[in-house]
Amino acid sequence: MTASRTARERVRAELTKEITDIARRQLATEGAGGLSLRAVAREMGMVSSAIYRYFPSRDDLLTALIIDGYNALGEAVERTEAEVPRADHLGRWLAVCHAVREWGVAHPHEYALIYGSPVPGYQAPQDTVEARIRDVAVLGRLMSDAWQAGAVRAPEEEAPRELDPDVTGFHDLMPGVPDNVIWRALTAWTTLYGWVSFEVFGQFDNTIEDRRGAFEHSMRVTAGTIGLAQ
Amino acid sequence: MTASRTARERVRAELTKEITDIARRQLATEGAGGLSLRAVAREMGMVSSAIYRYFPSRDDLLTALIIDGYNALGEAVERTEAEVPRADHLGRWLAVCHAVREWGVAHPHEYALIYGSPVPGYQAPQDTVEARIRDVAVLGRLMSDAWQAGAVRAPEEEAPRELDPDVTGFHDLMPGVPDNVIWRALTAWTTLYGWVSFEVFGQFDNTIEDRRGAFEHSMRVTAGTIGLAQ
DNA sequence: CAGTCGTCAAGAGCAGTGCTCTCGTTTGTT
DNA sequence: AACAAACGAGAGCACTGCTCTTGACGACTG
């Protein structure tokens, strides 16, 4: 009986996947604003109302694509970073940086969906929280490894005590890392995504040609900010 | 005769301004996606087709709002930075940072319009280029002043020679500043906007509560990256 | 085996959108 | 006074997200 029920549910899962696949292709070509449920239905040979059996609204489809985007980016970061020797902390950092940047320029619309302006009212936060921290978790392990290996030069400044309640959430991500280093890592994180956002969103157009080279240099400087020795 | 001609043109200018004002209010409440020419026309008591006498398309209206946004942000940065003594370079840097952040959190949708994902195909670049560099011009003068006053600690690393063609464009913005400092300033610039984008786009929700305090600390660290002494 | 109940695709329809075209009217210029 | 440009109004096209209803098929239960 489970077999027959799964027969039904399997068709449903397949159609759901087909919808998201087509939607992702539309997203890649038209952007988030051009994503149309009717166009997806048309391409599937369905009538538009049938889509609503699978996604109750356009925003729900977008939310599914957002989660997929987080996972795709997170997986790209994990995979690239895993290829670098564990002791090469600077190399791991640079691998993370280039993975983020290359995924962003390769999938600009998906990047815009997850790191650009939030398109609908708001996406469901609880559903996305597992997928969204995959990339930052990689940085956390990296920082933790580097610190415990003594490869991080301690910053001169102290972490402001009034930020204590805010920094506790990061202790799980970077076990053993002192607070002032955590704040520097977070600052570096914003540098990384600030750069990629600038590039993906066209802020470097007619300004910087050798994007990868400039990015590489900037991320090396940023590595120095975290205290990762060359 | 010019008086009579200006009579007509004055009405036109007033109506154009009224359209952009209403559009900006709609943008602030609904976001870029919810901006509707018909709704603007409705609020003005006009018929929708009449709007097209003033803006040939929705994207043109958005472009006008983008230029306005760049100018508003640039003016806010200029005004805030001008209040700090010229010799207090760190203070000027922090003033710039807080001006950007406060404008961004106060006008999230406008910020998203100019620093988020590009909504239409592409906005006219030549029309916006004058307004868009007002903020970065402030940083340029600040860096130039600080360097010439000897207040910038020179970085250890050299600027990569393959980036020479890209860095020349910044020499006008920061006269006299050596290339490696320019790249550090650009890196700091991405840190600033990366942070503000993270905050405005909700990436810090349920993560950081004392946004201003964390931002202040992060921008002080970043000042050290540029070489601005404490 | 027969009946029932839930799932599904299809179609019509509503309200809204950007944009185009045409038609009188108003306004400014020669 | 005559002409041309600019203008507001209205109708209309193609499109969107979304809702509701109808009829058919499949799966589970008596």
Nearest neighbour of B191 by CB, restricted to A187, A210, A224? A187
Sort out which chain B residues have CB atoms less than 8 A from A213's CB and list them: 160, 162-163, 166
Mapping DSSP onto H, E and C, the string for B21-40 reads HHHHHHHHHHCHHHCCHHHH
pLDDT at B7: 76
Nearest nucleotide, C1' to the C-alpha of B34? C17
pLDDT in tens, B173-201: 999 999 999 999 999 999 999 999 999 99
Contact at CB, B201 and A155, closer than 8 angstroms: no
Report chain B residues whose CB lies below 8 A from the CB of A105.
none
Average pLDDT over residues B207-226: 97
| pLDDT tens-digit profile, chain A (230 residues) | 334 455 777 888 899 999 999 999 999 988 888 899 999 999 999 999 999 999 999 999 999 999 999 999 999 999 999 999 999 999 999 999 999 999 999 999 999 999 998 765 555 556 778 888 999 999 999 999 999 999 999 999 999 999 999 999 999 999 999 999 999 999 999 999 999 999 999 999 889 999 999 999 999 999 999 999 76
The per-residue pLDDT for B120 is 54
pLDDT confidence of residue B123: 55
Q: Residue B125: its chain A contacts at CB < 8 A?
A: 205-206
Nearest Cα to Cα of residue B89 among B224, B186, B228: B228
Q: Which two tokens stand for residue A8?
A: 């039904």
Q: Do A207 and B169 touch (CB under 8 A)?
A: yes
The answer to whether residue B118 scores a pLDDT higher than 90 is: no
pLDDT (mean) for B31-55: 95
Picking from B116, B117, B195, the nearest residue to A190 by CB comes out as B195
The answer to whether A225 contacts B221, with C-beta atoms less than 8 Å apart, is yes
For the CA of B46 and the C1' of C25, the distance in angstroms is: 16
Å from A50 (CA) to D27 (C1')? 20
For residue A45, report the phi and psi dihedrals to the nearest 5 degrees. Answer: 75, 15
Instruction: Determine how many CB atoms are found less than 10 A away from the CB of residue B113.
Output: 25
Per residue in B152-172, pLDDT (tens digit) is: 999 999 999 999 999 999 999
CB distance B17 to B103 below 8 Å: no
- Which of B162, B184, B209 is the closest to A221 by Cβ? B184
Q: Which nucleotide is nearest to A11 (CA to C1')?
A: C8
Which residues of chain B have a CB within 8 Å of the CB of A201? 115-118
Interatomic distance B56 CA / C16 C1' (Å): 20
Encoded tokens for B125: 């670049």
- Give the pLDDT band of residue B128 (cuts 50, 70, 90): confident
- B81/chain A closest Cα distance in angstroms: 22
On strand C, nucleotides with any atom < 7 Å from a protein CB are 7-13, 16-22, 27-30
**Measured distance CA(A179)–CA(B163) in Å, rounded:** 35
By percentage, how much of chain B surpasses pLDDT 70?
A: 93
The Cα of B25 is separated from the nearest Cα of chain A by a number of Å equal to 17
CA–centroid distance for B213 within its chain = 22
Query: In terms of C-beta distances under 8 Å and separation of at least 24 residues, what long-range contacts does B99-106 make, across chains too?
Result: B100/B73, B100/B135, B100/B192, B100/B193, B100/B196, B101/B195, B101/B196, B101/B199, B101/B212, B101/B215, B102/B76, B103/B72, B103/B73, B103/B76, B103/B77, B104/B73, B104/B196, B104/B197, B104/B199, B104/B200, B105/B196, B105/B199, B105/B200, B105/B211
Any idea which nucleotide's C1' is nearest the CA of A41? C9
Q: Answer yes or no: do B193 and A192 touch at CB < 8 A.
A: no
Q: If DSSP codes are grouped into helix, strand and coil, which group holds residue B152?
A: strand
Which ranges constitute the DSSP H helices of chain A?
2-30, 37-44, 48-51, 58-82, 89-106, 108-115, 125-132, 134-148, 164-171, 179-200, 211-226
